[in-house]
Structure 1
């Protein structure tokens, strides 16, 4: 279940490229003129540009932490990384004090309770697997199948082993699997650790969206878009570790400018459509719950993917439009 949970909670940009939501497939009026290779080249260039820009800036040396407050409530806002290398040092005294004070932890989605785990299994089976009589190889053409198996074969995968997976889920597995092979561990992901600590400390857990909503973002593309996304993933898989290394480094350094370069650029997500679906729309949907947390006295802690906290379309920016200016604490 840990690996499956990581598939659903990883919103690292290199993983979202796999989702088939890429606007590259819609960027031209004649979609037939847009090849998977061209899309891969576009996204490769965007990833390289993003990492280069991210490296140009530095942060204060610890992950960014913000707060909003009124007379009787404090809400801390913290951007997370869903998978981390075990040796990554990120906790600070300021973070520990804020989290210890909190009576409630808000996460993106419930993947740790028994009910949440059951929902993950059920919905992934429904939305990520082909129905009886349908197969992955049945929707790929000969060239796409050959390209896919040239990547999957050396990993020990056979066509029969992957034939039941819809393209969006297989692409996501490829992306996250490559990140894990590079040493990133979902058990060390910030969300996983905080959820476990919150339960041990008796904190209330609340969630900003449902598993159905999150899976819907990943699986809603039509089959042609899913196939294009899978092919892009295969073509750009070698860029994943470098991109995530930079992303994790910028996060640990608290470099909001660097994170903005990597996670607030629609081109990294394949285009505006994918960026809106995965980032902007979800951020907007979360704002009512986050702002209304101020209505209940106490200390609340919001922990969502770091990309949601940076850039002009971020949670932080949207809260400001609601008249809630977040103070950066570290």
Structure 2
């Protein structure tokens, strides 16, 4: 039995990975889980929500840059495209995303990355990394999510948890094809070009780089907490859709920042600090950008908006 300190640490890792799963929806296409009835339902009817997600603007004489916080996988019935967002998108010449994970070239890259980063070396199975209790928990929970232990066996623990989390999200009505990035990509007007902050390999590296112990603890605790995910997602999507950045900061970031500081630094802070100079570089050039990155990167003292403001730039909420 884990002692209290280890138990708390594993819960922190599980929470961080559940939040990370909402940001790696591109991985959902790698495995199709069987359709099984959801064990819990979302409380909110998202078709009835009048969404006003947060959008910011920064500009100078020859550049207008809109910064939009996204949710990478969403309930299919949620209409999040407010007039403010669609007008800003239509006025932009360049769409800038976190990373290219959707183009044919990116898919080829992912085909090479996934075996390297997400699967165990030959002779190592997922269950061989778990103790008896973890094996029993996986055998109990995987079928509830339309998976099987045999399907999960080749996977590293971090990837197995992402796959199971995405599978549960899809049971609850979340659709990777309804995620903001894919909708924006399909809505590009003629002549709109693409730009990116980072590579797919960099985006996956923070998960694949965790120690094996941390991955196992995160997976097992994530399975134990599976029934909490519907309420967490309900709260997170509502906060995002309403543009409530205080709630986004609380729900997405505070627990990670306070309880899993290493994950918070790697997933959020380091990337934010990497992105801000790239935004400034584009502002100092020419062009009208629509920047779309995960909503959790924008609020808070270490968020992209505050970091830009700290350097003297005027960033206004639209």
TM-score (norm 2): 0.83
Show CA shifts across 1:220-255 (max 9, x none): 011111101101211111111211111111111111
Q: Which of the pair has the greater relative contact order for Cα pairs under 8 Å at 6+ separation? A: 1
SS in 2 for 1:134: coil
Match of 2:11 in 1: 40
> Cα distance, 1:90 vs. partner?
1.6
**For 1:132, which of 122, 126, 130 is the aligned residue?**
122
Show CA shifts across 1:152-204 (max 9, x none): 14445433221100000001111111111100111011111112222x53311
Distance, in Å, in 2 between the alignment partners of 1:82 and 1:37 is: 28
Distance, in Å, in 1 between the alignment partners of 2:220 and 2:200 is: 26
**For 1:171, which of 161, 170, 183 is the aligned residue?**
161
Deviates more, 1:218-227 or 1:258-267: 258-267
Deviates more, 1:33-42 or 1:270-279: 33-42
Instruction: Answer whether contact 2:51 2:82 (CA < 8 A) is retained.
Output: no
> Cα distance, 1:324 vs. partner?
1.4
Matched, 1:74 2:45: no
1:158/1:256 Cα in 2 relative to 1: closer, same or farther (>3 Å)? closer
1:169/1:183 Cα in 2 relative to 1: closer, same or farther (>3 Å)? same
Distance, in Å, in 1 between the alignment partners of 2:237 and 2:253 is: 15
Show CA shifts across 1:17-74 (max 9, x none): xxxxxxxxxxxxxx97634477439977xx9xxxxxxxxxxxx961111000111111
> Cα distance, 1:319 vs. partner?
0.8
Query: After the TM superposition, which segments of 4 or more aligned residues of structure 1 sit over 4 Å from their partners?
Result: 41-44
Distance, in Å, in 2 between the alignment partners of 1:190 and 1:123 is: 24
Show CA shifts across 1:77-119 (max 9, x none): 0001111112212212221111011111110110111111111
1:118/1:43 Cα in 2 relative to 1: closer, same or farther (>3 Å)? closer
Structure 1, unmatched stretches of 5+, are 1-30, 48-59
SS in 1 for 2:225: helix
**For 1:297, which of 280, 286, 289 is the aligned residue?**
286
**For 1:93, which of 83, 87, 105 is the aligned residue?**
83
Instruction: Answer whether contact 2:58 2:65 (CA < 8 A) is retained.
Output: yes
1:41/1:116 Cα in 2 relative to 1: closer, same or farther (>3 Å)? closer
Structure 1 residues 52-201: aligned runs within 5 Å: 62-155=52-145, 157-198=147-188, 201=190
Instruction: Answer whether contact 1:43 1:267 (CA < 8 A) is retained.
Output: no
Distance, in Å, in 2 between the alignment partners of 1:154 and 1:93 is: 40
Distance, in Å, in 1 between the alignment partners of 2:259 and 2:91 is: 40
**For 2:261, which of 272, 277, 281 is the aligned residue?**
272
CA-atom RMSD in angstroms: 2.3
1:296/1:96 Cα in 2 relative to 1: closer, same or farther (>3 Å)? same
Instruction: Answer whether contact 1:191 1:303 (CA < 8 A) is retained.
Output: yes
Distance, in Å, in 2 between the alignment partners of 1:112 and 1:132 is: 29
**Matched residues, number:** 284
